[in-house]
Amino acid sequence: MELEAQVEVCRQLLLPHCKGKRVYGVSGSPYHESLDVSIDKLVVEGVGGQFLGLMAHLDITGTGKVLQLRHGDSSSLVYRETDMARESMWLDMVQGIELPFKIDLVVRGHWHWFAFNANRRRAFLQLPGWKLWFPWRSGKYAKYIPDIGGCVLEVSKTGITCQEHLYPYIPCYDALKVGA
């Protein structure tokens, strides 16, 4: 499917969920992009959102809460939540020293699976994705079956809540085939 068509399908899918809400987006993985135009920027702006580039620290007006938005990166993890704990630990080490503000929520999307964890220092949101499994690498098939969907955050002075909207996984490339 042409990139313009993919952007339009995505825009139509997300627009009903974005009406009346503040929408922010950051760049995703380069292999989801075109070399000459940001597909992510087109989608975010197409639903009336604000595109923030590669990474952003976003102060949510009137709440006293700061969100860190970044697509994420890869790591060789067995327990996927380990990455969240490690990132939170590194933030604890630099807040008040190199980083002059507190980050209340870290948002990532690279892994295409959903998790929301919170403790008294901060919350960590791992976003689901909008791409079915495909054979881009060998091995660990089950680890890379994605969660499909999105999340709606409620950010207020009293806290941060997350409502996930997950859809059933549909095997496509990995569908069951009938043998003779």
Q: Which domains does the chain have, with CATH numbers?
A: 54-167 (3.60.21.10)
Say how far apart CA 54 and CA 68 lie, in whole Å: 11
CA-closest candidate to residue 108, choices 79, 72, 76: 72
At residue 76, the pLDDT reads: 62
**pTM, rounded to two decimals:** 0.85
State the pLDDT confidence band at 93, using cuts at 50, 70 and 90. very high
At residue 34, the pLDDT reads: 73
CA 106 from chain center: how many Å? 10
- For range 114-120, the mean pLDDT: 91
- For range 52-58, the mean pLDDT: 95
State the pLDDT confidence band at 1, using cuts at 50, 70 and 90. low
At residue 138, the pLDDT reads: 67
- For range 12-17, the mean pLDDT: 91
At residue 32, the pLDDT reads: 66
Task: Determine contact, residues 42/32, Cβ cutoff 8 Å.
Answer: no
The angle at the Cα of 88, spanning 93 to 131, to the nearest 5 degrees, equals 145
| pLDDT score of 158 more than 90 | yes
Task: Determine contact, residues 164/151, Cβ cutoff 8 Å.
Answer: yes
- For range 134-148, the mean pLDDT: 83
Q: Where are the strands (E) in 71-171, listed by range?
A: 105-108, 115-118, 123-126, 148-156, 159-167
| pLDDT score of 139 more than 80 | no
CA 152 from chain center: how many Å? 11
